[in-house]
Structure 1
Amino acid sequence: MPVLKFYSWSYAAGGCGLIAMVLAEKQIPFELVLVDMAKGDHKTPEYVAKHPFGQVPMIDDDGFILYESRAICRYLAEKYADRGTPLIPTSLPAKALFEQAASIEFANFHPLVGKIMLEAIYKMHNNLPPDEAVLTQAKSDLAAKLDVYEVILSTQNYLGGNEFTLADLFHLAFAPSLAQQGHNIMADRGPNVTRWWNDVSSRPSWVKLQADGIPGIKSTM
């Protein structure tokens, strides 16, 4: 049987980290194809023919090519629904609440974390000064969003209900990396957010990925 090919960079963070987490939670065998972005592997004609944006991650499932991390996570969670941790509910109401929670993450959490990453991490790595006003505003805006999370999580265990789903997992893309760089955006929040975040970020699969990197590769972030 063909083995799923997972095209990724070398550390368990960002979209690649999300997919690695799903692969671990669902216990899906795969072949890791390391894309050396420093050497421009992601911009070769052969790679761009599969991923027109020339980015990672990407999967090749026996000839079926798929890119964009959240789409890949949903595909794997549904294809392997009978394996490992259930990550997408099956009943219509529960699935609707899951999609609502996933939309909350994508519309309210991810854009602000992206701004913080740009100012606090990417600019530093490229020897550029951060825009402190933008950084401060993004952190303030994120705090306000997490205040709403506090209300939601006061009546349920996770963002989409009482079971862990992809909607919770998606929050792991960059928040842990920011904390490693001294920007712990999840610290000192309300008790419900703190309880939820400690639960999500301490799942054994995620802890192992952060310690060992994506299987076969030591994490460098």
Structure 2
Amino acid sequence: MALKVHGTILSPGVLRVVACLKEKELDYEFVNVNLEAGEHKQPHFFALNPFGEVPAFEDGDLKLFESRAITQYIAHTYIDKGTQLIVPDHKKMAIMSTWMEIEAQKFVPAASKLSFEIVIKPILGMTTDVSVLAQYEEQLGKVLDVYEARLKESKYLGGDCFTLVDLHHIPLINYLMATKVKALFDARPKVSAWVADILARPAWSKVQELLKHKMG
């Protein structure tokens, strides 16, 4: 099989890639990387990702890393498959690219920290550092205020249709919906409706089955 995803299914970055493949209805091989055993720091994995992080991705002889670069490659290369996750219009694409940057630079720093502390640490048997939670909740709330204003103008963050912008948010939002941080999303009506929409996508339901198997 030409398409391979290397990583652990608990990783938000890996989940972004898998969700993209599900939206595009593409077959792929998932190669589990045991982070606890340090497989990502072995020479064979450095050949896939020189930073020794997941995900890593292969399409034939092409090797990629960084989840958002991978999803953009998939969306452009397999544009005729499944969901159209990018837009052909240059101006609309520029807007979409802006919000992809906002997700990576503004949303993720707070959301990933909260997800790691509240969700991932307990799974790994680690202790949550409660002293940092209020700081990151405040930071995330400010980002969601901007999202609330944006979503009054368009149905999705990147425009009027579901795109990579929305997809990139799904893994971390999915984790946070099972925590007290859910209240930050619920308190903003447009954000709450957007979250319900993107989490209900059939492709994400398929990804959740993989997650349940792993976490169950």
The TM-score with structure 1 as length reference comes to: 0.88
The aligned counterpart of 1:149 is 147
Query: Do the aligned partners of residues 186 and 8 (structure 1) sit closer, same or farther apart at CA in structure 2, a change above 3 Å counting?
Result: farther
SS of 2:182's equivalent?
Answer: coil
| Alignment deviations for residues 150-181 of structure 1 (CA, whole Å, 9 cap, x no partner) | 11101210001101010111111322123335
Confirm or deny that 1:138 pairs with 2:136. yes
Residue identity in the other structure for 2:111: V
Q: Distance in 2 between matches of 1:83 and 1:131?
A: 44
Give the deviation of 1:148 after TM superposition: 1.5
Paired residues of 1:186 and 1:197 also in contact (CA < 8 A)? no
The aligned counterpart of 1:218 is 213
Residue identity in the other structure for 2:8: W
What does 1:83-98 correspond to in 2, within 5 Å?
A: 83-98=81-96
The aligned counterpart of 1:120 is 118
Confirm or deny that 1:54 pairs with 2:52. yes
Confirm or deny that 1:198 pairs with 2:196. yes
The aligned counterpart of 2:4 is 5
* Percent of aligned pairs with the same amino acid: 34
Q: Distance in 1 between matches of 2:125 and 2:102?
A: 31
SS of 2:186's equivalent?
Answer: coil
Q: Distance in 2 between matches of 1:118 and 1:218?
A: 20
What does 1:96-115 correspond to in 2, within 5 Å?
A: 96-115=94-113
Q: Distance in 1 between matches of 2:99 and 2:155?
A: 12
Unmatched 5+ stretches in structure 1: none
SS of 1:198's equivalent?
Answer: helix
The aligned counterpart of 1:45 is 43
SS of 2:14's equivalent?
Answer: helix
Give the deviation of 1:182 after TM superposition: 4.9
Residue identity in the other structure for 1:153: L
What does 1:31-42 correspond to in 2, within 5 Å?
A: 31-42=29-40
Give the deviation of 1:193 after TM superposition: 0.8
Paired residues of 1:146 and 1:189 also in contact (CA < 8 A)? no
Query: Do the aligned partners of residues 186 and 90 (structure 1) sit closer, same or farther apart at CA in structure 2, a change above 3 Å counting?
Result: farther
SS of 1:6's equivalent?
Answer: strand
Query: Do the aligned partners of residues 129 and 157 (structure 1) sit closer, same or farther apart at CA in structure 2, a change above 3 Å counting?
Result: closer
Larger relative contact order (CA 8 Å, sep ≥ 6): 1
Unmatched 5+ stretches in structure 2: none
RMSD: 2.1
Residue identity in the other structure for 1:207: S
Give the deviation of 1:147 after TM superposition: 1.3
